[in-house]
Amino acid sequence: MKNIAVIGAGTMGNGIAHVFAQNGFQVNLIDISQASLDKGIATITKNLDRMLAKEVIDQKNKETTLANISTYTDLNKGVSQVDLVVEAATENLDIKLKIFKDLDEACEASTILATNTSSISITQIGAATQRPDKVIGMHFMNPVPIMKLVEIIRGYNTSDAVTKTIMELSQKLGKTPTEVNDYPGFVANRILMPMINEAIETLYNGVAGVQEIDTVMKLGMAHPMGPLQLADFIGLDVCLSILNVMYDGFKNPKYAPCPLLVNMVMAGKLGVKSGEGFYDYSESRKAEHVSAQFN
């Protein structure tokens, strides 16, 4: 594999593009918005500069990485001659089904189609194509350039050969691939999201405050970040979406999202991305929160 396309230039998409490009792959970064592409490249450049300052890479490595990335707003042009597509668009089933149907028509028959979904069925996504054996999940963790894990999710029809190829490819990226089967939430979010939801329930029931809940989990369970702060960083809308997928998939009330989470999302309090969630991330409070949460 030499040529990779990444769909979506947001947080996950630009991180995935960064990692592939830094490891010598030619990457086509695709988004419907040129502004999003520009922002994505700016983020990659900023992250490379941070690595350069820490002497993790040198100037030549930075320049080569950026030179390995091309940007496209035209999906057909961006995926016409690639070996692998990694979709990292919004965590929305209808959007993903539409993208994969389009990819199936635009890509060569040999192209493997991967999705970075954190909860949506790989089998269902694969069924939107004429190549379900070549559809697989590659669930990277955020921040992608730092986190080692990649959940490799094989759908009901994903072939052994494609699974082996993606496992080996992930290792070439310096990641630790872990193969899991296709059930709602996979492994990471099936365990993580109920914990976050229970932390929100604990707050909702008045057992303790935000900082108290996070402090117990950080100091008592050695978590690097409390569950409420982690929810803010993931995005409360994303947490809600994943919980809904699991609730719909299992029909088990233990996955039902807390009413407080539902209300916060409806109110637009989504966490870091909106400037407020369980914590206040406005400019006037940012320095205070960085000091309080990371020291």
Q: Which residues are annotated as a binding site for NAD(+)?
A: 8-13, 31, 91, 96, 118, 142, 273
- Confirm whether 119 is a catalytic residue: no
For residues 56, 60, 65, 70, the Cα torsion angle rounded to the nearest 10 degrees is 160
Determine contact, residues 26/80, Cβ cutoff 8 Å.
Answer: no
- Confirm whether 159 is a catalytic residue: no
The per-residue b/e assignment along 184-199, b for 16 or more CB within 10 angstroms, e otherwise, is bbbebbbebbbebbeb
Residue ranges for the known binding site are: 8-13, 31, 91, 96, 118, 142, 273
Determine contact, residues 246/119, Cβ cutoff 8 Å.
Answer: yes
Q: Comparing C-alpha atoms, which of 43, 112, 42, 47 is closest to residue 79? A: 112
- Confirm whether 276 is a catalytic residue: no
- The Cα 20–Cα 110 span in angstroms is 20
Q: How far is C-alpha 267 from the chain's CA centre?
A: 24
Structure tokens at 222: 């050695």
Q: Catalytic: which of 139, 170, 197, 241? A: 139
Q: Catalytic: which of 118, 170, 197, 241? A: 118
Q: Catalytic: which of 36, 116, 151, 241? A: 151
The H or E element containing residue 52 is helix 34-53
For residues 251, 255, 256, 262, the Cα torsion angle rounded to the nearest 10 degrees is -140
Q: Catalytic: which of 170, 189, 197, 241? A: 189
Strands 149-154 and 176-181: parallel
* Angle in degrees, CA 228, 229, 235, rounded to 5: 90
Residue 69 has phi, psi (to 5 degrees) of -110, 125
- Confirm whether 68 is a catalytic residue: no
Could you give the residue numbers annotated as active site? 118, 139, 151, 189
